[in-house]
Structure 1
Amino acid sequence: MKEKEKEKEKEKERKAWRPLTANCCSVEEQTVFRNFSRCRPSRSDLSKNIGPLPSFRRLSFSDLSRSSSTSRINEDLAQSFGSDLYDFQLSELRAITHNFSSNFLLGEGGFGRVHKGYIDDNLRQGLKPQPVAVKLLDIEGLQGHREWLAEVIFLGQLRHQNLVKLIGYCCEDEERLLVYEFMPRGSLENHLFKRMSVSLPWGTRLKIATGAAKGLAFLHGAEKPVIYRDFKTSNILLDSDFNAKLSDFGLAKMGPEGSNTHVTTRVMGTYGYAAPEYVSTGHLTTRSDIYSFGVVLLELLTGRRAMDKTRLKSEQNLVDWAKPYLSSSRRLRCIMDPRLAGQYSVKGAKEMALLALQCVSLNPKDRPRMPAIIETLQGLQQLRDMAATCGQWPQSSPKPSAQNAALSSAKREKRRQS
């Protein structure tokens, strides 16, 4: 009888699910999914106990590709974060979003959908009534479970006024959801590039750039530096006072440790924002984020997207197109966002352009550090000179010569006599 029981146990072990590695590649001893739809576990497998995780308190960010049962994940997260993060039930999130109604849809991307919800004072004890944003991650998408877990771990530990606040999460069967504070002004991308939106004033653009820089500086200056890896206008969210907060940490990465100068990883992010040395080598450093920051500065200056396939081929890549204009005040006028209608500080625009030029330098060592960037941007907020008051740059007309003045006077006299 005992032999039969042992045989059954062995059979269970043989049938235990293991991650598939077909069409995958290995980087840093991790399984990285190129074709997630083929490499992912089935939906039913996600709810099974696949294998024990190490204690969450010892869980490093390099362990994010590992899998476990939903009950074990929730147990580990609760043990690590306690009351700092709420473990929501799927039924609760359905209720506050009216069953994820399309009327409450805030946005949709590669990660999945984001819905607005409202938490009342009856939902959870100690949780104040407030609007929230609920993100449903697409488990079958390219980001999936690993990015969901990365976001919980990063935002569960990192708190700063310029990082969006994670309120809680939901890990139930195959569903993976995140609950954030609601940002009423939406993303910087919407304000810069949506035709229906009111143009951002110059002072507000400076405020947003400074706030985003502080968020990035906090990440780079952490005890264990964090490389954001996806700095772009759509990930900069704005509260009611246009304070900038960084969101979406699914691609964030721990920086190099010890004597290492970089992290070697799979190239991920958004084309047009990613640093060229990272794209070509896979070597990731905090300087990679600074390149992306420079691209966003150019977007704030020009009102153009980092990549725009609708434009002429020579103008599609913002960095390549803008670079020749950035070091000359006279040439800079030609690429300033026309929606500003000339209402900006000439000196401030010049300084921001030079700062952007440093940030997008092809040599990573020539890029400034975040504290220096913040200092420069804060100095620009004190400038009050404006380019023009009528929406156009004033055209300088040549002064009339003495001979022309005499002729004009003679003509006026002749007309009076006639």
Structure 2
Amino acid sequence: MNSSTYMEAYLQKFLQPFKHLKIQLEEITTATNNFNKENYIGHGGYGKVYKGEVSHSKGRSVVAIKRLDRTSRQGIPEFLKEITMLSDYKHENLISFLGFCCEGSEMILVYELASRGSLDRHLNSPHLTWPQRIKICLDAANGLRYLHDPRGTHRRLIHCDVKSDNILLDEQWNAKVSDFGLSTMGSANEQHSLIVIPAAGTEGYIDPMYWMTHTLTKESDVYSFGVVLFEVLCGRLCYTLVNKGHVVKEILVPTWIKSYEQNMLNDIIFENPNIEPMPQSVLKRFSGIAYQCLKESREDRPEMSEIVTELESALNIHELLQNEEFIGKWNEQLYEYQEMIKTAEPPLNYKSEDELMDLLSKGILFNGGKTWFWLNKKGEHCEIISIAECLGSDAKRHLFSSNYNSRFAVGTYSIFRRKDVNILHIRTHFLSPGITYTVNVVFKFKMIKERRCDPISLKYRLQGERESSISYLAYEREDGWWACELYHFTCDYRIVHFQILFEDYDNEDGLRVEGIEFQPLENVSLQIKVWLCRKPFV
């Protein structure tokens, strides 16, 4: 058996588990008009990309078809890696893998079509507002967080080639991370993964520590993403071509770092008369997290989850500052916010109203550390009341645990196959009158569960009601906590008193309850969902 025949046999055996994703070459050539230049939409390290309409694992649609260039440095390993990885790793901010073709000398990958192309094409677009730019970065950060923090559902994946060229945009400007040909798997449930491999990636984006030591960690992706954040901020790629004939690049990252450290961001930030300037409080938060990503020491770089939090906060503040109705309410309630901050634990300092707004949008502990308070994107008040505060003297101290990263020092409270009645005395502190709130139990399962809706069957009764109810469904949120929706009510006063009697929970998983949450009801479909979850107990 010659080498080419052996390789063909190996490929077919390897691809057998993915045969449901196979697309015939004839269909692909028909869809692309035999790879006609009119269907050509781009080019990467793997090869040329075309668009065409084909039938695939999820139906039929216009897709992106990536055809291996036989002269490319990437080849069979990258082809197989994309198939295996993208079959297992699915997230709304990762490009969806739809199928492949491996016939003769052709190795073709098929993806969902991101109609607006890659982010690098839009860095200096006068049509992208700052909120849109921040949202694109947030989407990409969420995709990378999913890869870095699998929460036990799959192995950690280090992308190895994070750059604006590999962040694709759909029609609604939603960002999706793409191109996993250089990606490397790390350990499944370890806090740190260190892999020794030859340095790979794209000049200008590669982590200097990875380049020098060949040791790869998830912080290498963080560095590369920091470069992307600065590209978005500055509206340009991280390099300029000094000599196009020899492809000599001048890397701009050191200049950007210096500008930040010397407080000269206004010299590099992207400006266009069609775009309103970024508010200084938003600029401070956005540039601050970008700078942290580029720290020389990997230990000083943030986790992707921290980057997501900072970008969410930047976007939230920007939206609040553009909301005239909120600004009016803010001015009316400014004194109360200032008094609230004085009781925060730990004590918080701020130098301006923008910084105060920033603190409140991220969330603060007050009321002796028993209440977590924050403002949502509309400026509405949200709270979580600690389970310890709700139970009061009824709580059994040995059932508390500090092992679940709770917002509250006392930690979570165990409910595990319990049939005795737990009475929660709940007193809100600063809700928004006229707002309809959902009341949620916030918790974690004692046993690791995959992210999905799960049956929970939590039986309870509200003060003044004769019939008991059961909340049947719980769902995991992006912050890692689960929520079980009980009911909703329209708030008439900022301070509300009521009781919930938890009468029965009989499930082998067990719950670690953090507290009772009050979130404004967002839309009608959610309202229907809440009432479907709550059914009278018969």
Q: CA deviation at 1:109?
A: 2.6
Alignment map for 1:12-411 (pairs within 5 Å): 16-17=2-3, 45=4, 48=5, 50=6, 68-69=7-8, 72-79=10-17, 81=18, 83=20, 86-119=21-54, 123=55, 127-193=58-124, 197-222=125-150, 223-256=154-187, 261-310=193-242, 316-327=250-261, 331-339=264-272, 341-384=275-318, 385=321
Q: Give me the whole-angstrom Cα distance separating, in 1, the residues matched to 2:58 and 2:227.
A: 38
> Contact 1:192 / 1:199 at 8 angstroms: preserved in 2?
no
Give the partner amino acid of 1:317. I
The alpha-carbon distance between structure 1 residues 100 and 198, as it changes in their structure 2 partners (threshold 3 A), is farther
3-state DSSP of counterpart to 2:220: helix
Q: Give me the whole-angstrom Cα distance separating, in 2, the residues matched to 1:259 and 1:333.
A: 38
Please name the residue that 1:6 is paired with: none
Q: Give me the whole-angstrom Cα distance separating, in 2, the residues matched to 1:351 and 1:109.
A: 33
The alpha-carbon distance between structure 1 residues 338 and 198, as it changes in their structure 2 partners (threshold 3 A), is closer
Q: CA deviation at 1:327?
A: 4.4
Q: Give me the whole-angstrom Cα distance separating, in 2, the residues matched to 1:131 and 1:74.
A: 27
Q: CA deviation at 1:328?
A: 5.9
3-state DSSP of counterpart to 2:51: strand
Q: Give me the whole-angstrom Cα distance separating, in 1, the residues matched to 2:31 and 2:192.
A: 46
Give the partner amino acid of 1:202. W
Q: Give me the whole-angstrom Cα distance separating, in 2, the residues matched to 1:357 and 1:348.
A: 14
Give the partner amino acid of 1:344. M
Q: CA deviation at 1:260?
A: 7.7
Q: Give me the whole-angstrom Cα distance separating, in 1, the residues matched to 2:307 and 2:212.
A: 26
Larger CA deviation: 367-376 vs 319-328: 319-328
Q: What TM-score comes out, normalization by structure 1 length? A: 0.70
Give the partner amino acid of 1:263. I
Q: Give me the whole-angstrom Cα distance separating, in 1, the residues matched to 2:241 and 2:234.
A: 16
Q: Give me the whole-angstrom Cα distance separating, in 2, the residues matched to 1:230 and 1:261.
A: 17
The alpha-carbon distance between structure 1 residues 160 and 141, as it changes in their structure 2 partners (threshold 3 A), is same
Larger CA deviation: 317-326 vs 249-258: 249-258
Q: CA deviation at 1:347?
A: 1.2
Q: CA deviation at 1:350?
A: 1.4
Q: CA deviation at 1:138?
A: 1.5
> Contact 1:274 / 1:288 at 8 angstroms: preserved in 2?
yes
Give the partner amino acid of 1:318. L
> Contact 2:193 / 2:218 at 8 angstroms: preserved in 1?
no
Give the partner amino acid of 1:73. L
> Contact 1:210 / 1:378 at 8 angstroms: preserved in 2?
yes
Q: CA deviation at 1:75?
A: 4.4
> Contact 1:327 / 1:353 at 8 angstroms: preserved in 2?
no
Q: Give me the whole-angstrom Cα distance separating, in 2, the residues matched to 1:259 and 1:367.
A: 14
Q: CA deviation at 1:110?
A: 2.4
> Contact 1:78 / 1:87 at 8 angstroms: preserved in 2?
no
Give the partner amino acid of 1:337. F
Q: Give me the whole-angstrom Cα distance separating, in 2, the residues matched to 1:260 and 1:221.
A: 11
Q: CA deviation at 1:342?
A: 4.8
Please name the residue that 2:497 is paired with: none
3-state DSSP of counterpart to 2:241: coil
C-alpha RMSD of the superposition: 2.2
3-state DSSP of counterpart to 1:308: strand
Larger strand percent:
2
The total of aligned residue pairs comes to 310
> Contact 1:139 / 1:145 at 8 angstroms: preserved in 2?
no
Q: Deviations 1:277-331 (Å, cap 9, x if unpaired)?
A: 00011100000000001000000111121121349xxx932220011222465x2
> Contact 2:192 / 2:217 at 8 angstroms: preserved in 1?
no
Q: Deviations 1:337-390 (Å, cap 9, x if unpaired)?
A: 12375522221111111111110000000000011110110011122348xxxx
Q: CA deviation at 1:82?
A: 5.5
The alpha-carbon distance between structure 1 residues 246 and 307, as it changes in their structure 2 partners (threshold 3 A), is same
Unmatched segments (≥5 aa) in structure 2: 244-248, 323-538
Q: Give me the whole-angstrom Cα distance separating, in 2, the residues matched to 1:349 and 1:105.
A: 38
The alpha-carbon distance between structure 1 residues 346 and 259, as it changes in their structure 2 partners (threshold 3 A), is closer
Give the partner amino acid of 2:173. F
> Contact 1:192 / 1:300 at 8 angstroms: preserved in 2?
yes
3-state DSSP of counterpart to 1:163: coil
3-state DSSP of counterpart to 1:338: coil
Identity %: 35
Q: CA deviation at 1:185?
A: 1.1
The alpha-carbon distance between structure 1 residues 116 and 198, as it changes in their structure 2 partners (threshold 3 A), is farther
The alpha-carbon distance between structure 1 residues 203 and 73, as it changes in their structure 2 partners (threshold 3 A), is same
> Contact 1:192 / 1:303 at 8 angstroms: preserved in 2?
yes
Give the partner amino acid of 1:115. Y
Please name the residue that 2:426 is paired with: none
Q: Give me the whole-angstrom Cα distance separating, in 1, the residues matched to 2:64 and 2:39.
A: 10
3-state DSSP of counterpart to 2:41: strand
Please name the residue that 2:504 is paired with: none
Q: Deviations 1:193-234 (Å, cap 9, x if unpaired)?
A: 5xxx54421001110000000000000112311100000001
3-state DSSP of counterpart to 2:114: coil
